[in-house]
Chains A and B, each alone.
Chain A
């Protein structure tokens, strides 16, 4: 197909999508349709794209980023390198990073998997790693004492605002009440949330306003306060 015909086809299809065709253009489109069956297919496909686009983005914020953001990004080259040099004891605090930016939890890993890591780039940055207490890093924890048939897969994420507990639990009695409690090194117990037992696997994330370094253990307690399972934690920096 020539460039001119391509361009004309594009105009006609575009006009058809918005009802902007004149009578003459409509006749022209009908004529093209009779010889080019892909026209109708493309109109259908682009109409579906339009529907999805307007549904997902009913409006568009076209504003530009601030000059301050540009300054912050340009400063990264020095600040990030400094923060990467632990021997110098440097800290990331020079950069303004919100707590969530340091959170790259299990759910995020699922998203990465679903996205397929585009084009197989081997080094799309992953979650932070480090010893217990490292902000944003996933810390696997091991529960003990759970009844037979109960399986608990747990992990923690240290945040600047507290400690997140991520649990995958199977086998707890259906509809029974359970509470996740963080016990501090000082012996205080802080509830991080509650859930009901289920016949299917329970995935949950719970948050408590206590810093990871202050947490000594994580307990799952039943309605009577009896400890169903407990994870003793290593000390954190």
Chain B
């Protein structure tokens, strides 16, 4: 199902009990976006069980807030990713707040993180939002360091097509990170 058709499940959701309500179709929403949201969570948290809990929480918050969702403002996918991002940030910060016992000599040697965790989260969010084909070429070629010829041999997709996908995937990532950076200043 396309994202547009998924949105249609929400478009006519009057919660006025007197009106005929078209329900928020959780199954359709999960089938369309659950995999991408899970990819976002599991790669951000590196904990499969925690990631699944995050996805569940994302859909729970979406379900409870479904009255206020407006497809004119953002797509269902965009909205779910916003919720997921908040859930993941909550999870990360909750983990960080949990007291940890470390040897005293470790404290002096603890270096501050070299990069903003939110920047890392933005990159992972951008990757998760890509189409599976675009994400695959970035992962295979740029993260795993395989050549286009090797990926072509494995996947059967011509190298030229893979190069083209790589270009547009990077463009999508650039646009996502630019938008994110604009929101964080």
Chain A interface (Cβ < 8 Å from any Cβ of B) = 7, 10-11, 13-15, 17-18, 20, 45-46, 49-50, 52-66, 68-70, 72-74, 76-77, 80, 84, 95-101, 103-105, 107-108, 111-112, 114-125, 164, 193, 205, 207
Q: Give the distance in Å from the alpha carbon of A99 to the alpha carbon of B135 in the complex.
A: 33
Chain A CB within 8 A of B139 CB? yes
- The complex places the Cα of A101 from the Cα of B70 at a distance, in Å, of 25
In the complex, chain B residues 4-19 whose Cβ is within 8 Å of any chain A Cβ: none
Given contact pairs A69-B55, A118-B183, a sample of 18 additional A-B residue pairs in the complex whose CB atoms are under 8 Å apart = A46-B170, A52-B123, A53-B127, A56-B115, A57-B123, A76-B59, A96-B56, A97-B56, A97-B60, A100-B94, A108-B89, A111-B89, A114-B118, A118-B82, A123-B69, A124-B61, A207-B98, A207-B99
* Binary flags per residue of B60-89, CB closer than 8 Å to A gives 1, else 0: 111111011110011000110111011101
Instruction: Please name the residue on chain A nearest to B34 by beta carbon.
Output: A65
Chain B residues with CB below 8 A from A45, complex form: 174
Q: Which 6 A-B pairs have the closest CB atoms?
A: A123-B68, A100-B94, A56-B123, A125-B61, A116-B183, A10-B167
B127 touches A57 (CB 8 A): yes
A84 touches B64 (CB 8 A): yes
Once the chains are docked, how many angstroms separate the CA of A96 from the CA of B90? 17
- The answer to whether B168 and A100 have CB atoms under 8 Å apart is no
- Min CB distance, A47 to chain B, in Å? 9
Asked whether A56 lies within 8 Å of B120 as measured between CB atoms, the reply is yes
Residues of A within 8 A of B54 (CB): 101
Asked if A115 contacts B63 (CB within 8 A), the reply is: no
In the complex, residue of chain B having the shortest beta-carbon distance to the beta carbon of A50: B142
Cross-chain contact of A97 among B57, B90, B98, B126 (Cβ < 8 A): B57
A53 touches B123 (CB 8 A): yes
Contact between B82 and A115, CB atoms less than 8 A apart? yes
Can you report 24 A-B residue pairs in the complex whose CB atoms are below 8 A from each other? A7-B164, A10-B163, A11-B160, A18-B148, A20-B147, A49-B177, A57-B124, A57-B127, A60-B139, A65-B34, A69-B55, A73-B26, A74-B26, A77-B24, A77-B63, A80-B64, A101-B91, A103-B90, A108-B90, A111-B86, A115-B86, A121-B70, A124-B79, A125-B61
